[in-house]
Amino acid sequence: MSKMIYILNGPNLNLLGKREPEIYGHDTLADVETNCAEAGKRPGLSVKLLQSNHEGELVEMIHDARENAAGIIINPAAYSHTSVAILDALNTFEGPVLEVHISNIHKREAFRHHSYVSARADGVIAGFGVNGYALAMQHMGTLLA
Ligand code: CA2
């Protein structure tokens, strides 16, 4: 049976592919889900991609993952830089957590250089564009083999 991976996305990422393509590219979250499902086939992983603009909803998605997912890939978006609540929720999750940023947060404004989530993440990918999600899926396959 395949192992379920939750791919969680924070605020404004519903606009992916529709605004600011010079920073975030042309692919949409639907494309990300398709690419991650493809990347998960060989290692036997299935994916559920979720997005919310609300911090508490993201916390509840992580609680849901505690019961229903073997691993979490998360792009917390702006909450990366502010949310102790999301960090605390991730600390209650027992499986691997991989953090993805589409842009290279270290090349951008100083306030984006720190991520609370990185204190829990088993790995961080930044600046690989939306391909970072599929790369994280590949690594998830290794971690859960
Ligand atoms: O590079 C990333 O993936 C970020 O997590 C994206 C966040 C930003 O606050 C982080 O510092 C880095 C912003 C997500 C906004 O998403 C949009 C997508 C398309 C158009 C407009 C916003």
What local confidence, expressed as pLDDT, does residue 134 receive? 98
Nearest CA to ligand 1 atom 7: 77
Q: Which residues line ligand 1 (CB under 6 A)?
A: 12-13, 15-16, 19-20, 24, 75, 77-78, 80, 101-103, 105, 112
What strands lie across the sheet with 97-101, from one edge to the other? 45-51, 3-9, 71-75, 97-101, 123-126
Can 24 be counted among the known catalytic residues?
yes
CATH topology of domain 3-143: Rossmann fold (3.40.50)
Can 101 be counted among the known catalytic residues?
yes
Q: pTM of the predicted model, to two decimals?
A: 0.98
What value does the mean pLDDT take over residues 68-87?
Answer: 99
What local confidence, expressed as pLDDT, does residue 114 receive? 99
What value does the mean pLDDT take over residues 126-145?
Answer: 98
Nearest to 13 by CA among 47, 48, 49, 53: 53
Best residue for ligand 1 mutational test, from 103, 128, 135 (most atoms within 8 Å of Cβ): 103
| Amino acid sitting at position 100 | V
- Catalytic residue from among 6, 79, 101, 116: 101
Q: Is the pLDDT of residue 1 over 90?
A: no
How crowded is residue 46: how many other Cβ atoms within 10 Å of its Cβ? 15
Q: Using the mean position of ligand 1's atoms as its centre, give its distance from the Cα of residue 5 in Å.
A: 21
- Maximum distance among all Cα pairs of the chain, rounded to whole angstroms: 44
